Amino acid sequence: MNWLEALILGIIQGLTEFLPVSSSGHLELGKAILGVEATKNMTFTIVVHGATVLSTIIVFRKYIWELIKGFFTPSWNDEKIYISKILISMIPVGIIGFFFKKELESLFTGNILFVGIMLIITAALLAFTFYAKPKDKKISFFNSFLIGIAQAIAVLPGISRSGSTIATGLLLGNKKEDVAKFSFLMVLIPIFGANVKDILDGNLLSSQIETTPLIVGFFAAFISGLIACTWMLNIIKKGKLIYFAIYCLIVGLIAITFGIIY
């Protein structure tokens, strides 16, 4: 992988991590188009995911700081309740990641036919939210778990993590702004934990990629992630997810066509 390919893939990761179009699916498509061998570039995937985690922390830094301060107060408060809901949402993806890590990694091999099918599923899920009646329910503990299940399913390349979690929250009748914030914050610990585990396992040390592409990819994903995260928050308030459903449908059909032909 050269620096230009890293730049392109980093921008793709940063934009699509927050937009409901599947970052993992677009990374697989990007690798296939650029001719980058997926099985040799898991390190790059780890690095750019870490970059988007950092961009999320920057965007929500004030709220995260309030959660941290509230967590260390002696009383049972709103901050501790919110953190408890975040932890509950992590249970499904934690189970998937712990018991099925190798099986998941086998899916990230540039199979664009599979990615195309999953993108169409994402499109259908986003389309459902267009017909859902807007409500202002607070995210309950049970809702947190259901949204967590959506996040666990979204480990499949082509299923949008932000799209599936936000759509699930909206279909459950939760407030738009609350769902968006919860969706972006609930992924911090799982991705951060996965990155730390990969570092401890020596996956970064065994990288076959030079340092320069990793650095370029990291900053490309970080900067584009900052832009996409802020943009997505405004999009959700206006209820414009149907356009992403159309986009996912088109890209999914193109990916399926190329997957069958080639």
Contact call for residues 139 and 88 (beta carbons, < 8 A): no
Q: At what angle do helices 3-18 and 23-34 cross, to 10 degrees?
A: 160
CA atoms in the 13 A half-sphere facing the CB of 92: 20
* pLDDT, mean over the chain: 84
| The predicted structure's pLDDT at residue 218 | 92
Note the pLDDT tens digit of each residue in 189-234.
Answer: 877 776 666 666 665 555 566 788 888 999 999 999 999 888 888 8
Give the domain extent around 232.
3-261
65: its two tokens: 């700081």
Note the pLDDT tens digit of each residue in 233-247.
Answer: 888 877 778 889 999
Among 32-41, 65-74, 83-92, 190-199, the range scoring the smallest mean pLDDT is 32-41
Contact call for residues 32 and 112 (beta carbons, < 8 A): yes
| The predicted structure's pLDDT at residue 249 | 94
Nearest to 155 by CA among 120, 108, 225: 108
| The predicted structure's pLDDT at residue 39 | 47
Do you know the residue count of the chain? 262
- Residue 145: pLDDT band (50, 70, 90) is very high
- For residues 88 and 27, the model is more confident at 88
Q: How many domains does the chain have?
A: 1
- For residues 73 and 45, the model is more confident at 73
Nearest to 169 by CA among 193, 191, 148: 148
Q: What are the distances in angstroms from CA 98 to CA 6, 52, 94? A: 29, 22, 6
